[in-house]
Amino acid sequence: MRLYEFEASGLFARKGIPVPRNAVVTSPQEAREKAEEIGLPVMLKAQVLTGGRGLAGAVQAAESLDQVERGTESLLASSVRGLPVQQVMVAQKVDVAKELYLGVTIDGYRGTPVVIVSSEGGVSVNQLVMEQPKSVAMRLVSISKGLHLAEAREMCREVGMEGHEVTPVASMLTALYRVFESYDCLVAEINPLARTTQGKYLGLDAKVEIDDSSLYRHIDLNLDVEGRIDNPRERKGREIGVTYVELDGDIGLIASGAGLGMASMDIIKQKMRPANFLETGGGITAELLYNAMDLVMQKEGLRAVFINIYGGINPIHEGAKGVGKYMKEHNVSIPVMAKALGNRQEETWEIFREHGVHVVTDISTEKAIEYLAGLLEGTA
């Protein structure tokens, strides 16, 4: 379950990560009162469970109390990527001298935490890995040993940090790992981590996603799980019986299992940007794959869809029929590629091909993704 920014910021503060003074409000008048307490100028940040708020105009600066009221009123009447804004975070505005990045997530191949630090912030870490690889350091962390301050310092130096910068950033990285570990997170991220013109370090944006299966262990957080307004497509995923998590990319993904899906997503990230994570829980029926295609295709801006299914006992040709039916009924214009192996795979390939799906028969997901990338670049 993804947390709102104000909730994630609260977890960071609990573990000793400095964040700007902030409050969450639901009305312009309340925003005015909180801005007076915090002190002008402030930032007004729409609280929605999706990325891209800055590009959508959902993060605004306010220099006066009148601007606070008008800005809050405007945000509460808006939506971001189809999600209505019902809460606004009023946060202290700081003068930024430098932006950095800190993150902890799960390595999809090894199933172990990976800690990430970058000397650049404010943009996607995947973009940094592709465009400025020397600015990013990653390290796998043993769950039994955790992340030590000495290791964090070494990572900071690896990306070019020096002197007075190393210790405070390394301390915040170890604190971020404690958040990740303590709250059973799938993702914990500070982007950007700001060094202010006064030389202080503050987490300006907080992203946390907690493993749904562990929520019973964190009732002290008082999270409104049932009443939470999340992405409507993620809600639809639960209704049709799949796990769907929306991401910021443009390559749709359908996989027949969580491990296969995580591995596929990690490989896509090496060359492109996944638009979602979707796994069917092992189900490969015609109805389920039809509904999965319908769900993935609802996101705007897709460039392609990658399907990765494996069937041991379950015959996979039925799933191909569902995808084929969707392709025929909706006249899909973007490339759809499938890697399908297992029970009745040859029949599955033929069904896919009959409906315009690009089929990769190689066992390697890496080669399939390379082919898809080449197809989009016009080199395949």
Is the model's pLDDT at 229 over the cut of 60?
no
> Residue 195 has what pLDDT?
97
Is the model's pLDDT at 108 over the cut of 80?
no
Q: Do residues 202 and 180 lie in contact, with contact meaning Cβ atoms separated by under 8 Å?
A: no
Length of the chain as a residue count: 380
> Residue 294 has what pLDDT?
98
Whole-number average pLDDT of the chain: 93
> Residue 380 has what pLDDT?
59
Residue with tokens 């995923």: 237
What are the helix (H) ranges across the chain? 5-14, 28-38, 65-76, 125-131, 149-158, 166-182, 232-240, 258-271, 286-297, 317-330, 345-354, 365-377
Is the model's pLDDT at 62 over the cut of 60?
yes
> Residue 227 has what pLDDT?
60
pLDDT one-digit tens code per residue, 310-325: 998 889 999 999 999 9
Domain 96-221 and domain 232-377, same fold? Reply is no
> Residue 230 has what pLDDT?
60
pLDDT one-digit tens code per residue, 23-37: 999 999 999 999 999
> Counting beta carbons within 10 angstroms of the beta carbon of residue 45, is it exposed (0 to 12), middle (13 to 18) or buried (19 or more)?
buried
Domain ranges of the chain: 21-92, 96-221, 232-377
- Highest mean pLDDT, choosing among 75-84, 227-236, 283-292: 283-292
Percent of the chain with pLDDT over 90: 79
* 162-167 long-range Cβ contacts below 8 angstroms, 24+ apart: 164/199, 165/195
Is the model's pLDDT at 59 over the cut of 60?
yes
Q: Do residues 237 and 260 lie in contact, with contact meaning Cβ atoms separated by under 8 Å?
A: no
pTM of the predicted model over 0.75: no
What the block records as the tokens of 19 is 């964040």
Report the candidate in 374, 334, 373 with the shortest Cα–Cα distance to residue 357.
334
Question: Among 41-55, 77-91, 223-237, which is the least confidently predicted range?
Answer: 223-237
Out of 3.30.1490.20, 2.60.120.10, 3.30.1370.60, 3.20.20.70, which CATH number does the structure's domain 21-92 have? 3.30.1490.20
What is the C-alpha to C-alpha distance for residues 291 and 368, in angstroms, rounded to an integer? 23
Q: Do residues 275 and 305 lie in contact, with contact meaning Cβ atoms separated by under 8 Å?
A: no
**Residue 116, CA distances (Å) to 61, 156, 177, 202 in order:** 29, 10, 10, 17
> Residue 317 has what pLDDT?
96
Higher pLDDT among residues 183 and 234, named by residue: 183
The CATH number of domain 96-221 is 3.40.50.1980: no
Q: Burial letters for 16-44: b for 16+ Cβ neighbours within 10 Å, e otherwise?
A: ebebbebbbbeebebbbbbbeebeebbbb
For 232-377, CATH gives 3.40.50.261
**Residue 140, CA distances (Å) to 115, 260, 264, 270 in order:** 6, 20, 19, 18
Whether a cis peptide bond, with omega within 30° of 0, leads into 113 is no
Would you tell me how many other CB atoms lie within 10 Å of the CB of residue 64?
12
**353: left (phi > 0), else alpha (psi -120 to 50), else beta?**
alpha
What the block records as the tokens of 93 is 């505005």
In sequence order, which residues have a C-beta less than 8 Å from that of residue 326 and are 6 or more positions away?
A: 289, 290, 293, 294, 297, 332
Torsion of CA 224, 227, 229, 230, to 10 degrees: 70
Question: Letter for the amino acid at 292?
Answer: A
**Dihedral sign for Cα atoms in the order 6, 275, 266, 283:** positive
DSSP code string of 28-77:
HHHHHHHHHHH-SSEEEEE--SSS-TTTTT-EEEESSHHHHHHHHHHHHT
pLDDT one-digit tens code per residue, 124-152: 887 888 889 999 999 999 999 999 999 99
DSSP code string of 167-213:
HHHHHHHHHHHHHHHHTTEEEEEEEEEEEETTS-EEE-SEEEEE-GG
**136: phi then psi, degrees, rounded to nearest 5:** -120, 135
What is the C-alpha to C-alpha distance for residues 212 and 21, in angstroms, rounded to an integer? 29
